[in-house]
Amino acid sequence: MIGSQPRSLAAAIIFGMACTVAAAASHDDGWLSVTDFSASGSKFETTATANAGSNQIVVKDVGDFQVGQGVTVSRSNIQIVSPLLRGPESPYSTKPLEDALEIRGYDGSTSSWLVFLLEVDVAEPLSFRWSDNLVREGKWQGVKVPITWDWQKLSNGVEVKFNKRDLEVGHMVSFSARDQLSSVIEKIEGNTLTLRDAANRPAADAVVRHDDSLAIQAAVDRAIQQKQNVFFPPGWYRVPKGILISGAGAICLEGANGVDTVMDISDGATSIFRVQGCTEITIRNFRMIGHTGMAESAGAFRMAHGRASFWACALKPCNAVGMTATERTLIENVHASRMGSECFYASGTARQSTGEQKQYQKSLTYLRCSVTDCAANAFNNNDMGENTSVLHCRIQDAGPGGWHAAEMPARFLRLIGNYVRNAGPFTVGDMSHRTDDLHNLGCGQAIVADNVFEGIGKCGGVRVNFGSSQVIIANNLFINYNGPAITASSETERRCFPSNTVTIKGNIIDMTYPGDKPAPRTGITVSTSNTIVADNQIYVRGPCDPLVTGIVVAEPALNVTVHDNLIRNCRQGLVTRRAQSSIKEVIDPTTFLETRLPLEWKDSHLYRGWNLAWLTGSRPNTLSVIEAFDPVTFRFTLREPHEMKPGDSFCVFPSGPANWSFHDNTITGCQKPVVLDSYGGPTSWFRDNIVTRGEASDVKAAIEVCGMFKLAGNQISGFDEKNSSALSLASDPLGRTKQSVYRDNVFEGCICVVPDSQKPLWEAAKTD
């Protein structure tokens, strides 16, 4: 059908009776067909004989090749592609290779496309390591190979010669060795095709395929110029060069359907559609195929100097759609597989609170799409673009080894109604910068709701990470889950801002795992301040699972409320933990850098007056007071000098109210139902909860208290095993117990309330 395409169900009904007329319509109604620009839409391929220096090839079968069509001819054109010098500070900082390295000799003996990476790994004597397989699983073909400044053999006939003398550890050289000729058919005589370009290598077994890149590009360019749309009839469109859509005011690219309109970039290293600087674009009804599946994922490796990591898939990328600085985008009913890097990727400038950019992402919607068998992220918004919505999509077999089902350092995000299986996490935030404007506009504001996460294969769950705020995670289902289900983290390991202000409610998290390799896993983990965890169910079907924890809340979070949750048959039900770190660098007797604490926002408490409890060092189990934290230099200052050295470990907790409230939860069938193992404080409450033994056995205590908490109005029942008790009490590392409070609790069917050995701690607390 080449006429105007129906835009809705109502339009489909109206036009359904007129399909014959529409098929015969001219293209002056706003639509161009790519077939009118010589796009073949054909999967046909054949073998051929090519000769070096000749632009004629003899094919076994002419098939449906036509004059004017683009073709690729494998094994006939030796070339080195994208030679770049990288680093050493960042492997993503590149410049042309120029005379740093000479390359020769690729013979194409084992592959038509090899990606080589060389990295200087030793300074004295200057040596390098190298790989031709994207450093998969960290395996290098050679390590500590001395640089001779003469020709040195790698693989597949490739030899290299280093010329640059000022190399240092971490410098990288990357390039691709390929043997594919890309050209256009100028004449067909019998089985002889005359091409626009000549081969540079003889080949008796070359493979000739259609290349529709130039034809489709011509259709898109015309459509942009004439303010029209582009239609793709059913077909198999090979587009190794990708299609650029640049500067369009408004354009729609539409296939016949999401099954029979196939865009194939299995021979390319770019995006099928590269969208740049457009105002409004719609891409719908396509199936898209790349060259690298989940099993071939390269992952990341640490650079030789250890200061940074490199995602090697950047050396052999392909995306379904890549977007830069486009205002409004709709991607609907697009189904992508085997993409070597982020399947759908958006980037560009972002709005600032001091003034809006001329052009930036204002809306990006993925509707009824799917990502399957992809080597990296399924979705990535890497620019703080606004209003990204992933709606009713399917993500399966994507995001292994540190990648994500969706990685979203974006603003005003909606992940709703999706299905996720064997994939990395939905990661909200991941904003690794500390730009001052984040204090005004924020990042990672998100609604993650009504999704289904099935625990087959990799289980990433939902993760609130690095710089997020104002996040709602609601009404999601986790089925047979074998990984962390929901994590709200305040970590700042990338020198970013800690996340905060999160609501986690109404989720049903089934942590039953019937497979062969069960993993330690937690239903909900929280270390973010200003967080509510409410009305969730976390459970294991059947007996208590020794690898499952229900809910974890960790210091130094402030203002955390956990209420009306139901936790069943987990080894640990509800657990609290301390905030531990260590000295990284000593500046002076009162000033230091540390390794793990959240590096707070400038408008936060900045750790003023917080307690620092030393675990090791010159005076373990003593207390210091933090005077201040500098959010620019990351330095902590103590109120009084303290003898310290790198590696000394400590915990921090507020000197005033932390405002933790655990109330009206039900915890049953757990081997360690409640473990309150944090410093706590005067406003740390555990009240009006129901804790029962259920079917669990060998339960030593219903509630373990190892800090300053107030327990009130709880019902504790059924802990009647030998050597069991309702409570187990211990002082924190500072020996504090007297400010704990136990009142109005009901102990029923318990063999004892507190063991005799702990009676002094019970008596020292305020009890009723």
Cα–Cα distance list, 400 to 118, 346, 485, 495 (Å)? 24, 20, 16, 24
Give a three-class secondary structure readout of 204-262: EEEEEEEECHHHHHHHHHHHHHHCCEEEECCEEEECCCCEEEECCCEEEEEECCCCCEE
Q: Which run of H or of E encompasses 10?
A: helix 9-16
* Count of alpha carbons within 13 angstroms of residue 161, beta-carbon side: 9
> Would you state the pLDDT for residue 138?
66
Query: For residue 497, is it within any domain?
Result: no
Using CA atoms, how far residue 142 sits from 131, 136, 583, 754, in Å, is: 7, 14, 37, 62
The pLDDT of residue 737 is 59
Residues 609 and 742 in one domain: no
Looking at the structure, do residues 279 and 393 belong to the same domain, yes or no?
A: yes
> Do 411 and 442 form a contact (C-beta atoms < 8 A)?
yes
Q: What is the pLDDT of residues 148-202, one digit of tens each?
A: 999 999 999 999 999 988 899 999 999 999 999 999 999 999 999 999 999 999 9
Q: Which amino acid is at 221?
A: D
Comparing 173 with 768, the larger pLDDT belongs to 173
**Beta-bridge partner residues of 236:** 262
Q: Is the dihedral of CA 140, 142, 148, 152 positive or negative?
A: negative
CB crowding 566-589: b at 16 or more within 10 Å, else e:
bbbbbbbbbbbbbbbbbbeebeee
pLDDT of residue 19: 36
Give domain status of residue 262, yes or no. yes
Whole-angstrom CA distances from 362 to 246, 278, 444 are 17, 12, 15
Considering 358, 373, 406, which residue would you say is the last residue of a domain? 406
Q: Is residue 519 part of a domain?
A: no
What is the DSSP secondary structure assignment for residue 133, as one 8-state letter? Answer: B
Buried-state track 366-397, b at ≥16 Cβ within 10 A, e below 16: bbbbbbbbbbbbbbbbbbbbbebbbbebbbbb
**Are 312 and 168 members of one domain?**
no
Same domain, 173 and 186: no
Is residue 533 assigned to a domain?
A: no
Instruction: Specify if 437 maps to a domain.
Output: no
Q: Are residues 681 and 723 in the same domain?
A: yes
Integer angstrom CA distances of residue 517 from 321, 456, 671 = 36, 11, 21
Pairing assessment for the beta strands 159-162 and 152-153 based on DSSP bridges: antiparallel
Four-point Cα dihedral 758, 759, 762, 763, nearest 10 = -150
Sheet holding 101-104, edge to edge: 101-104, 159-162, 152-153
Report if residue 646 sits inside a domain: yes
Does the structure show a pLDDT above 80 at 768? no
Kindly report, residue by residue over 4-61, the tens digit of the pLDDT. 343 443 333 333 333 333 333 334 578 999 999 999 999 999 999 999 999 999 999 9
- The pLDDT value recorded for residue 291 is 95
CA dihedral angle for residue 468, residue 473, residue 476, residue 481, rounded to 10 degrees? 50
> The domain that contains 200 carries what CATH number?
2.40.30
Same domain, 305 and 367: yes
Query: pLDDT for 393-418, tens place per residue?
Result: 999 999 877 899 999 999 999 999 99
Provide the pLDDT for residue 26.
Answer: 37
Q: In angstroms, rounded to a whole number, what is the distance separating the alpha carbons of residues 448 and 415?
A: 5
What's the domain range around 758? Answer: 660-767
Helices (H) and strands (E) in the chain, counts: 5, 70
Strands 235-238 vs 261-264: parallel, antiparallel or unpaired: parallel
Residue 311, pLDDT score: 87
Give the phi and the psi of residue 758 in degrees, each rounded to 5: -105, 5
Tell me what pLDDT residue 111 has.
Answer: 87
pTM over 0.85: yes
User: How many domains, in total, are found in the chain?
Assistant: 5
CA distance 326 to 360: 6
467 in a structural domain: no
Percent of the chain clearing pLDDT 90 (strictly above): 81
- 368: which 2 tokens? 């009824």
Which secondary-structure segment (H or E) carries 712? strand 708-712
Q: What is the 3-state secondary structure (H, E, C) of 680-706?
A: EEEEEEEECCEEECCCCCCCCEEEEEC
Kindly state whether residues 233 and 352 are assigned to the same domain: yes
On whether both 141 and 123 belong to a single domain, the answer is yes
Residue with tokens 């109330």: 663
| Same domain, yes or no: 189 and 258 | no
Confidence of residue 642 (pLDDT cuts 50, 70, 90): very high
pLDDT at 261: 98
Same domain, 376 and 277: yes
348-374: average pLDDT:
90
pLDDT bucket at 759, cuts 50 / 70 / 90: confident
**What's the whole-number mean pLDDT along residues 64-84?**
96
- Work out the angle at residue 698's Cα, subtended by the Cα atoms of residues 579 and 455, and round it to the nearest 5 degrees: 60
Split at pLDDT 50, 70, 90, the class of 741 is confident
Domain end point (choices 653, 676, 707): 653
In percent, the amount of the chain with pLDDT more than 70 equals 95
Q: Is 441 helix (H, G, I), strand (E, B) or coil?
A: helix
Per-residue pLDDT band at 761 (split at 50, 70, 90): confident
Q: DSSP character for 762?
A: H
CA distance 266 to 283: 20
192 in the same domain as 159: no
According to the model, what pLDDT value does residue 306 have?
Answer: 87
CA distance 221 to 301: 40
134 — alpha (psi -120 to 50), left (phi > 0) or beta? left
**Are 251 and 349 part of one and the same domain?**
yes
Q: Do residues 52 and 203 touch, judged by C-beta distance below 8 A? A: no
Chosen domain end from 371, 406, 441: 406
pLDDT in tens, 94-149: 999 988 999 999 998 888 999 999 999 999 999 999 999 887 666 899 999 999 99
585 domain residue, yes or no: yes
